[in-house]
Amino acid sequence: MKSAQIIRKAGHLGSIAALCLLAGCELFTPVEPVLTPRVRPSGLATGTIAQPQATSETSAALRSYLTQVQSSQLTQGLLRQDGGGPDTPYSAEMLARNFEQIVFFNEYDSGRQRSGVPGELRRWEAPIRMGVVFGASVPPSQRQRDLEDVTKYAKRLSQATGHPITVGDDPNFLVFFVNEDERADTIAAVAPRLTGVSAVNLGPVRNLPDDVYCAVAAYAAGADRSVYTAAVAVIRAENPDLLRLSCIHEELAQGLGLANDSPDARPSIFNDDDEFALLTSHDEVLLGMLYDRRLSPGMSLAESQPMIRVLATEAMQQPS
């Protein structure tokens, strides 16, 4: 629930009274492929930072509001961190159905309307190299925690998918932690260094609506639009610790190809109900299925369905 691809929602700052519900994140449709990609520049350092700076009243108000949101969600028993348990059973058929909804459908089409038309299976083929970029407002303690969380989570995603995912230099997947004051300028200055990323197609993550608190965009810069070659995740630095970690878990996973949310997926972070804050065992299985070599980028839902059933059955037969 968090969007070429993920967004987490908070509310409109101009009307705090209207900001009473925490929604999820959504995925943007991948941009058109760039057939003549630019040469990747060197020197994109992990953890690009400057000295902390004072924040505006708008940013401070957003930070206060999001802290209240997290507290409210926890009071309601949401934002679970247990990964699911005896109260959240699922079958092979449920797993297959959830995979189909989350992988082959986008939460919104290009017109911001819910789309019921299945697309193609999309994922990365090249190794993923994540780089973390901090805005000047982010204090050192928060930078350290967020960098550690991204590094740890990248390792977990790599284990779940069997795909190489690391954090380091020369990134092709940038993760920004920026506040309201610096977001647009920081992203505009750094993200276009990635192949296939431009000021135009950065719009959905650079210009976040007030009701969005994190997002991800995945880009296809080659001839095959179903193969991701770059991604940009943006997480509002105003989020308190658990909401930031929740954004990390959903945005980075959706940036791998789990594009949609489904109200039927449980236990899962790919559900708008915010019951779970962190990647679950169910979600790890979905990632493993997505990157199984018996499925290929570009496959349609109809082509994939027989193998999806096989993979789901195999997953349920594995010892827990």
pLDDT digits (tens, 9 = 90+) for 63-120: 999 999 999 999 999 999 999 999 999 999 999 999 999 999 976 544 444 457 899 9
Q: Looking at residue 27, what is its pLDDT?
A: 46
Helices (H) and strands (E) in the chain, counts: 8, 8
Q: Looking at residue 108, what is its pLDDT?
A: 52
Please answer whether residues 131 and 46 qualify as being in contact, where contact means their C-beta atoms are separated by less than 8 angstroms: yes
Q: Looking at residue 22, what is its pLDDT?
A: 36
The angle formed by the CA atoms of residues 157, 193 and 236, to the nearest 5 degrees, is: 55
Q: Please say if the pLDDT value at position 211 is more than 90.
A: no
Q: Please say if the pLDDT value at position 175 is more than 90.
A: yes
Rounded Cα gap, residues 289 and 284, in angstroms:
9
Output phi, psi for 107, to 5 deg: -60, -35
The single residue listed with the structure tokens 């509310």 is: 11
Question: What is the arithmetic mean of pLDDT over 293-300?
Answer: 98
Query: In the chain, which residue ranges form alpha helices assigned H by DSSP?
Result: 57-75, 92-104, 140-161, 183-190, 203-206, 241-254, 281-290, 301-317
Question: What is the arithmetic mean of pLDDT over 229-246?
Answer: 98
- The model's confidence at residue 292, banded by pLDDT at 50, 70 and 90, is very high
Residue-wise pLDDT tens digits, 11-61: 333 333 333 333 344 444 444 333 333 333 344 444 544 455 667 999 999
Question: What is the arithmetic mean of pLDDT over 281-294?
Answer: 98
The single residue listed with the structure tokens 């929602």 is: 9
Question: What is the arithmetic mean of pLDDT over 143-169?
Answer: 98
| Alpha-carbon distance values, 53 to 60, 178, 179, 232 (Å) | 12, 12, 11, 24
DSSP class of 16? G
**What SS3 state is found at 173?**
strand
In 82-219, where do the E strands start and end? 123-124, 128-134, 165-167, 173-178, 214-219
pTM equals 0.83
Output phi, psi for 64, to 5 deg: -65, -45
Q: Among 1-15, 26-40, 188-202, name the most confident range.
A: 188-202
In 84-127, where do the E strands start and end? 123-124
Q: Centre a 10 Å sphere on the Cβ of residue 275 and count the other Cβ atoms it contains.
A: 19
Please answer whether residues 216 and 255 qualify as being in contact, where contact means their C-beta atoms are separated by less than 8 angstroms: yes
Q: Looking at residue 107, what is its pLDDT?
A: 60
CA neighbor of 272 nearest in space, from 114, 157, 121, 160:
114
Between 272 and 194, residue with greater pLDDT: 194
Tell me the domain boundaries of the chain: 6-35+42-317
Q: Please say if the pLDDT value at position 186 is more than 60.
A: yes
Q: Looking at residue 209, what is its pLDDT?
A: 83
| Host H or E run for residue 6 | strand 6-8
Please answer whether residues 206 and 188 qualify as being in contact, where contact means their C-beta atoms are separated by less than 8 angstroms: yes
**If you average pLDDT over every residue of the chain, what do you get?**
84
- The model's confidence at residue 318, banded by pLDDT at 50, 70 and 90, is confident
| Torsion angle (degrees, nearest 10) of CA 73, 74, 78, 81 | 140
Q: Looking at residue 201, what is its pLDDT?
A: 93
Between 210 and 127, residue with greater pLDDT: 127
Q: Looking at residue 111, what is its pLDDT?
A: 41
Work out the percent of the chain whose per-residue pLDDT is above 70: 80
